[in-house]
Structure formats: structure tokens, C-alpha cells
Amino acid sequence: MPPASLPRHIAIIMDGNGRWAEKRNRPRTLGHQAGLRALRKIVEHCGRLGIVELTVFAFSSENWQRPPQEINRLMELFMRALDKEAAELRENGVQLRFVGDLTRFPAALQESIRQALDRNCQDPKMRLNVAVNYGGRWDLTQAARALAQECVEGRLQPQAIDEGAFEQRLMLADSPPPDLFIRTGGEMRISNFLLWQCAYSELYFSSVLWPDFSPARLDEAIADYSSRERRFGKTGEQARLHAG
């Protein structure tokens, strides 16, 4: 359990891989490879700090609009990363989970994901959620559809639908909401990521491109988070009393 000054759950939009490569006159796919190396370092650092959960935005539902060649290379990179990283994550007590609609991915990638999950860590020190083909609006829509289907089948009464019932149909239903939301790359928007779950997250925007986002940069983000007063709608005095 992390100390009170540390976030339990961190969510990250890993933005800037393509621009990192372009600044070096290299193919964008090399930026994605560099981004994977940066993610490995951040996962290891979160484990050392005692962060319970890390959720990263790897591929959004809007990313299908990118050039086909880049998408194909990304799929290849996912495959190689799964084969290489899954076993190491398990050995280090990290449980891997994928969040999003996986049905659009190639069959071979879906099978690699299934195999990685079958070999998952069963007694984790930390959970790594990888959001792929994910969008916050899709998440809300699929939750609403699930509730509607249960009502049609008579398993749920409409008057029983409240925030708790809705939340239980969302992705990450069994996870604490992210305490700290980080976006790298200089953009200052949440880009359809975890719209419900991040309602009260502390937002931190970094101009650093993702491949250059080091553990030291993460420490800076956490230090900034730790300096904030989280009130959740209460007055400052109420929040301090509750925290005490």
C-alpha cells in the first residue's frame, strides 16, 4: 500500500512518440519503440514506489485513422512486446490487463493477448492496465448497453440504476479511480480517455515527449500531486479533517 502522499492509481496518456522520431528525422515507428522502452522504465519505477495500479493509453479507438503502414507496424510492435514483456512482468509481480474492444485486432494479436493473460501473475504486487482500441465514450456506451440489456431481460429494474450500478459495467470496474492523470507531449486535453473514471483525478500535463519521460519526470509529477489538496467537493477544512 503506498503512503498517503502517493497515488494508488496513475493513468497516463503516452503522447509524443511520433514527434520524438520526427525531430530526429527517423520513422515514426522508431518513436513507438522508444516509447515502449520508456514504458518499461516507468512500470519498474512504479513498482519500486509501491504504486498499486498503472493504466496507460496505448492505442485509442481514434488511432485507426492513422496511416495504414503505421498501424501495421504498431500491431507488429504489440506482438513482439507481448512475447517479450509478458513473462518479465509476471516474474516481477505485475498483473497485465487489457482494456478496450479487442475484436478489431488481427486474430494473431488477439491470440497473443489471450496467451499472455492465461500466463498472468496471480498474486500481483501491481496491476498494469493497457488501454487498446479504447475510448471513454465507447466505455460509457457499452456500460449503458449492458444495463439496458439487463432491464430487457428482467434481471434489473430501471429504478435500480444508480452511479454504482453504472460504474460496475465500465472497464476498470474493480479498480480504484485514478488519483493522478498524466499526459505527456505538451497537449492539454484528456482525449476521450477514462472519462468517467477520471472525474476527480488530479491532472498533470508535461511538455516532455513520451520517450523522454523518465522516472525522474514521474517523480516530479507525483511531487506535484502530493502538494495538492484533494477536496472532492468538500471545503478545505472538511477535506483535511477527513484525511486526518
User: Could you give the residue numbers annotated as active site?
Assistant: 15, 63
CA distance 124 to 107: 28
Q: Which amino acid is at 142?
A: Q
CA-based end-to-end distance of the chain: 17
Report the run of H or E that residue 139 belongs to, with start and end.
helix 136-152
Q: Tell me, letter by letter, the H, E, C secondary structure of 20-45.
A: HHHHCCCCHHHHHHHHHHHHHHHHHH
Helix (H) or strand (E) holding 195: none
State whether residue 176 is helix, strand or coil: coil
Which 3 state secondary structure label does DSSP give 128?
Answer: strand
Beta carbons of 165 and 147 less than 8 angstroms apart:
yes
Residue 61 CA: distances (Å) to CA of 58, 129, 135, 137: 10, 16, 6, 10
Which DSSP string do the residues of 54-97 spell out, in sequence order?
EEEEEEEGGGGGS-HHHHHHHHHHHHHHHHHHHHHHHHTTEEEE
